[in-house]
Structure 1
């Protein structure tokens, strides 16, 4: 298993389409999305993505290529903490042909996705995107409030709220 980058994933997705002749739309997350945002030195060995299309065939394709893949139809369900409403519509398209559409999360939605998990690496990734795209603390606060409102009530929401407040305080010091 070796590191992968955005261009390699794009090439592999084109190969998948040429073999399967079915359309897919994919929203990339994680380390691969960071390559799009400009963090070229971020290493990743896997693909995290939401897919509209044959999810199982794509998982098998990446497995055959020895690339770990965390792929599903709805990334909002990867956590009890929902993604902000409209994240699919806001996703940034960077490649399209007749059968393949490749997108990445909008930078603010990416930050929220990282804050849902909140590891040290997630915090570093989110800080990079906040700085690069000039995301304001108030924008993060508004997205957080929306997420808290739409997510199922659970004690994890308290932790997400606390972590997000900590993150906002951190970026206000930058």
Structure 2
């Protein structure tokens, strides 16, 4: 499987819009978003995104024909028992807007929460990179985490998320001291 670069993905998405004549608006998450946040050597083989406008299934099949795996949804909040903080779509930042294509990335605080929801070791590192890169306030990260919990269905998985959130904030505070 070939590593994807953000510039290649932009061209492919532009091609999709040109070929279909459709509008496409999406929020990139995962490895491609990390490239846009400034982590240049972050390898990824797929496109993870929330499709806000456009035909998700048509896009999925288009990418599949190009040999590009994709995990697409109309609601990334549903990817975990832990929801996304309310308002994450409104806070998303536009990184490309031309013709019928709009590409966004999550606000850095929301990205950290998205990564901590899944909670793998790689996710933790990704979240730490973004938190340090954008000098995120640990207390504000906690606030975003509480918003995510508030929007979530009641489930014991929330205890694990809260634990990951607390560990993450503690580690970030320690790194800021040094």
Give TM-score scaled by structure 2 length: 0.96
Residue number in structure 1 paired with 2:9: 9
- Residue 40 of structure 2 is matched in structure 1 by 40
Matched, 1:120 2:121: yes
Distance in 1 between residues matched to 2:5 and 2:31, nearest whole Å: 8
Alpha-carbon deviations, 1:117-139, whole Å to 9, x = none? 11110011001000000101101
CA distance, structure 2, for counterparts of residue 121 and residue 131 of structure 1: 15
Runs of 4+ in 1 over 2 A off after TM superposition: none
User: 1:20 deviation in Å?
Assistant: 0.6
Mapped partners of 2:125, 2:142: distance in 1: 18
Aligned to 2:106: 105
Structure 2 residue aligned with 1:155: 156
**1:56 paired to 2:57:** yes
Counterpart in the other structure of 2:171: 170
**CA displacement 1:15-68 (0-9 Å, x = unmatched):** 000111010101000000000000000100000000021000110011111111
- Residue-pair matches, total: 174
Return 5+ residue gaps in structure 1 as ranges.
none
**Residue matched to 1:20:** 20
Deviation per CA, 1:75-125: give whole Å up to 9, x if none: 001111100111111111011123111101111110000000111100110
Query: 1:135-146 to 2 correspondence within 5 Å?
Result: 135-146=136-147
Structure 2: distance between partners of 1:9 and 1:104: 14
- The residue number in structure 1 matching 2:96 is 95
Partner of 1:74: 75
Paired residue secondary structure (2:124): helix
Q: Secondary structure at the match of 1:173?
A: helix
SS of structure 2 residue aligned to 1:44? coil
CA distance in structure 1 between the aligned counterparts of 2:108 and 2:9, rounded to whole angstroms: 20
User: Which residue number in structure 2 is paired with residue 130 of structure 1?
Assistant: 131
RMSD over aligned CA atoms reads 0.7
> In structure 2, how many angstroms separate the alpha carbons of the residues matched to 1:73 and 1:61?
17
2-side partners of 1:134 and 1:30: how far apart?
Answer: 20
What is the TM-score of this pair, normalised by structure 1? 0.98
**In 1, Cα distance between the equivalents of 2:6 and 2:105?**
11
